[in-house]
Structure 1
Amino acid sequence: MSDASINTQASTNEAGFGDYFALLKPRVMSLVVFTAAVGLLAAPGYVHPFVAFCAILFIAVGGGASGALNMWWDADIDHVMKRTQNRPIPSGKVEPGEAMAIGVALSGFSVVMLGLATNFVAAGLLAFTIFFYVVIYTMWLKRWTPQNIVIGGAAGAFPPMIGWAAVTGGVSVESVLMFTLIFMWTPPHFWALCLFMKSDYKDAGVPMLHVTHGRRSTRNHILVYTLLLAIIAVGMAFTGVGGPIYLATSLVLNALFIIGAVAIWRRSEEASEADGFKREKSFFGLSLLYLFLHFGAILAESALAPYGLGGW
């Protein structure tokens, strides 16, 4: 092999800024930022815009730190799964030790800075969120139980509570309900993805529900969790973060979500295979819109409240 080809290969595998940024799971981080911002803006009380910006920034950094530590620990299974083979560590662009160092450094930085910028209740919640996602979910539950995504989903549900605590210095019924909305949304959202990811998790030895209990059981679970989610989501309309805008939005979205879940429940594997899991993919896409619009409605109620147009 010539020197030129060696140099070309080395430059191809050399990590760039984009590779290090990818360690932070930016798509997941965007959800963290949005829900945390809604929790912060919907909370009663005033916070200076610069402090609010810093709070969201440090929450985002903490979420990214969790992502980096998750990729470090899961590098072995990421290498096996088609969906994750191009991540920075399995692709060989970032060393596992680098990812761990970045994750640990950003975790400490984000928690300390959030505490200094806002209060240490918010910082404590952020620290617990990172610990829960990395240790409880990634290191323990994910490879141990088919209920991994049910319990582990709590990690992704904390950001609005953190945003709320950054303003109020505490936890309330409203922030717990926002947490619960995301917590109950996560299983049907993720299980729908599992249905059309087919053998990825089985190949990696991860005991997801469809691997351990079968795809029919997964479809049953999606329907049950969707029905429970609808009760919680619509019920939130009658709390301090709800109102007519939220109620109308939630009624429409939950009707569509239940219709989609019933369609998935009624489907046979043969029918799903025949059309390339069209309904499952449609339900997964709707699930992304579902969460965004629910929190968007909460934000709208909060923004219009000072003008007497939001809330009850």
Structure 2
Amino acid sequence: MSDLSAYDGTREAGFGDYVALLKPRVMSLVVFTAFVGLAVAPVHVHPLVAFASILFIALGGGASGALNMWYDADIDRVMRRTAGRPIPAGRVAEGEALGLGLALSGISVVMLGLAANWFAGLFLAFTIFFYAVVYTMWLKRVTPQNIVIGGAAGAFPPMIGWACATGGISVESVLMFALIFMWTPPHFWALALFMKEDYHRAGVPMLTVTHGRRATRAHILVYTILLAPIALGLAATSIGGPVYLAASLVLNARFVIGAWRIWRRDETQAEADGYKAEKAFFRFSLAYLFLHFTALLADAALRGIGMEIW
């Protein structure tokens, strides 16, 4: 892949272009879920160590984003949704993105190992490798299961946060992983329902392209139903509580109803109304995940207050 093939020198890259390479919106989810994983862990972490840990996890997430944009520049050029990104828009050379991604990868892994522990640092290294190599370079281009298996990369951050505090893995951290892992397919398949043509032009074998929208709707419903007991299962662990249980019951009921409504729709109806239901489901999926992890924080805060009173 040529380092300069996407760079036409139309204007000099600005600071914001390099920030965009790090996929800040995706990074914000990485940071938040990693923070929750660290905050709800049963081990007290010094605030300075906690801050440094989240900072270097964020850098690792940004490194993954830069490596993804470097390798996917050819796809991004033909997708309407991504054509304005720094590389396809000609504001940043591919080689610059690669260099930034590799540099941030090394810095984030080494510094997290020094700031927290080496298990967490190596876990971060594995996550970057999984996203940049296993998902971006392999799964994304060869199988409609790309987002199912590759979704693991986005599900690791709370486990890394937990590992920063405890130095290991537990049932609680695995269930936080499972929550994001099972949430990822319906979240992205809902997007693919109204962005199918983009993926088709780019030759990305998303489920909508290889199996059609009807099959994708059925997959969304099945995964959403399977997700519900996993999400509710966290309430029965040491990090669950009444706030999480109440929130999860409401959120999963609404999520399953939304998936059911999408499954019942035919393409003529969906196209006629501009895929309103699918877009609404996609937007709610973001709130779904955010509110689950916020509820975990709320229960952790209540436990902290209870311990202080006791």
Query: TM-score, structure 2 length as denominator?
Result: 0.96
Amino acid at match of 2:228: A
Amino acid at match of 1:257: F
Aligned residue in 2 for 1:208: 206
Aligned residue in 1 for 2:265: 267
| Pick aligned residue for 1:114 from 108, 112, 115 | 112
Structure 1 residue 306: Cα displacement: 1.8
Aligned residue in 1 for 2:291: 293
Matches of 2:106 and 2:301 in 1, distance apart? 33
Aligned residue in 2 for 1:158: 156
Matches of 1:77 and 1:45 in 2, distance apart? 44
Kept in 1: contact 2:199–2:209 (CA 8 A): yes
Aligned residue in 2 for 1:71: 69
Aligned residue in 1 for 2:147: 149
| Pick aligned residue for 2:99 from 80, 87, 101 | 101
Aligned residue in 2 for 1:305: 303
Structure 1 residue 58: Cα displacement: 0.1
Kept in 1: contact 2:144–2:210 (CA 8 A): yes
Spell out the pairing of 1:118-197 with structure 2 (5 A cutoff): 118-197=116-195
DSSP 3-state at the match of 1:146: coil
What percent identity do the matched residue pairs reach? 74
Structure 1 residue 304: Cα displacement: 1.3
DSSP 3-state at the match of 2:81: helix
Kept in 1: contact 2:196–2:209 (CA 8 A): no
Matches of 2:167 and 2:62 in 1, distance apart? 23
Aligned residue in 2 for 1:35: 33
Equivalent residue pairs, number: 300
In the TM superposition, structure 1's runs of 4+ consecutive aligned residues that sit over 4 Å from their partners are none
Matches of 1:55 and 1:188 in 2, distance apart? 30
| Pick aligned residue for 1:230 from 228, 252, 262 | 228
| Pick aligned residue for 1:45 from 36, 43, 47 | 43
Matches of 1:37 and 1:307 in 2, distance apart? 19
Amino acid at match of 1:203: R
Matches of 2:264 and 2:306 in 1, distance apart? 45
Query: TM-score, structure 1 length as denominator?
Result: 0.95
Amino acid at match of 1:236: L
Structure 1 residue 303: Cα displacement: 1.3
Please list the CA deviations of residues 86-127 of structure 1 after superposition, one character each: whole Å capped at 9, or x if unmatched: 000000000000000000000000000000000001001100
Kept in 1: contact 2:63–2:100 (CA 8 A): yes
Aligned residue in 1 for 2:3: none
Structure 1 residue 241: Cα displacement: 1.2
Structure 1 residue 307: Cα displacement: 2.0
DSSP 3-state at the match of 1:94: coil
Structure 1 residue 290: Cα displacement: 0.1
Kept in 1: contact 2:70–2:94 (CA 8 A): yes
